[in-house]
Amino acid sequence: MPLDLNTLIVRPISGSIGAEIDGVDLTDISDEQFADIRTANDTYGVIFFREQEMSPDQHIAFAKRWGNIVINQFFTALDGYPEIAQVSKEPDQKMNIGNLWHTDHSYDQVPAFGSVLYAKEVPDVGGDTLFASVAAAYEGLSDGLKATLEDMNACHSSRHIFGAEKSRVSQVEELGSRIGNPKLATQNSIHPIVLTHPRTGQKGLYVNPQFTTHIEGWTTEESEPFLAMLYQHTMQQEYQCRFRWAKGSVAIWDNLATWHQAINDYHGFRRLMHRVTIEGVELQ
C-alpha cells in the first residue's frame, strides 16, 4: 500500500518491496523530509530517486545523515574520497560486480546497515538491479519451517569472494583491477538465520548465496541443500522488484531487509556507480 507521508511523494513499484520517491533534491532536504525518507526505507526496504546531481562531498554528506560510513576494503575508491567505492564495468570486461544474489557485508561481525548507490554512467539498455525482500520471504514460509529456523545460526565469510583463494580463476583475472586487498579478506561471522530487524521489528531470513558458507554445527555438504531451498524460496518473483537505472538515479537499501543482484546484460558498454556504505548495529 502507498505510504502516506507529509513531505514526500512515494510510489511503490511492487507488492513486496521497493518504492520511488519523487520531487526530492537529496542535497537540500529538511530534517522532516529526511525522517520521512528513513520511514519509507524502513517500509519498503529499498527506495529510489531520479535525476539527482551530487558532488562526492554531497554524496558523503547525505550518507552521513544515516550513520557512520564504512570504508570498503576491497573495492577501488574514488580518488581523494576513500568513503566512495567505485562499482564499475568497462566495455571490454565480461564480468560485472554483484551478479549473484547477496546482501552486502554479511561477513562482518557488525554488518553494514545499507548503501547509497549513485549512478554516474549507465548503458542505454541493460544493467538493471533486482532486489528481494527477506521479510516477505520469511512470511512466506510454513509455520513449521519458521519454528525449525528460529534458533539456527549460519556462518558467513569474505574469504572465498575477496580473498586470495577466490573460487574461480576467471574471477581473479576479470575483477583483479576492480577488487583488491585479498590479504584483508579474513572476515568470518555467525548470525541468526532468522533476524529481528533492529528498527522495524520485522523478522527476515538472513542468509545469502554469495557470503553464507554453511549452517553452524552442520557440515558444508549437509548445509548446501537446506540453504539452497531457502535461496530458491527467497528468489521467487513475488518477493522482488526490478530497478532500471538512468544517470543520476540513486538507490538506498537496507541490507537487513533485502538481497540484491546486478544483472550482467550490457557487454560492450560502460557502467559506473558510486557507492557509500553505512555502518550498522550488532545483530541479536
List, in sequence order, every residue forming a beta bridge with 204; answer none if it has no partner: 195
Q: Give kind and range of the element (H or E) at residue 213.
A: strand 212-215
- The pLDDT value recorded for residue 172 is 46
Q: What band does 170 get if pLDDT is binned at 50, 70 and 90?
A: very low
Is residue 61 scored above 70 in pLDDT?
A: yes
1 located within any domain: no
Domain holding 51, by residue range, is: 9-278
- Just list the catalytic residues: 102, 104, 260, 275
68's grid cell: 557512520
247 located within any domain: yes
185 located within any domain: yes
4 located within any domain: no
Say which CATH number the domain at 202 has: 3.60.130.10
What is the number of structural domains in the chain? 1
284 located within any domain: no
Over residues 92-147, the pLDDT tens digits come to: 888 888 889 999 888 787 889 999 999 999 999 999 999 999 999 999 999 999 99
Rounded-to-integer distance, Cα 239 and Cα 161, Å = 26
Is residue 279 scored above 60 in pLDDT?
A: yes
2 located within any domain: no
268 located within any domain: yes
In sequence order, the 6+-apart residues with CB closer than 8 A to the CB of 87 are: 75, 97, 98, 117, 262, 272, 273, 274, 275
214 located within any domain: yes
Over residues 213-225, the pLDDT tens digits come to: 999 999 999 999 9
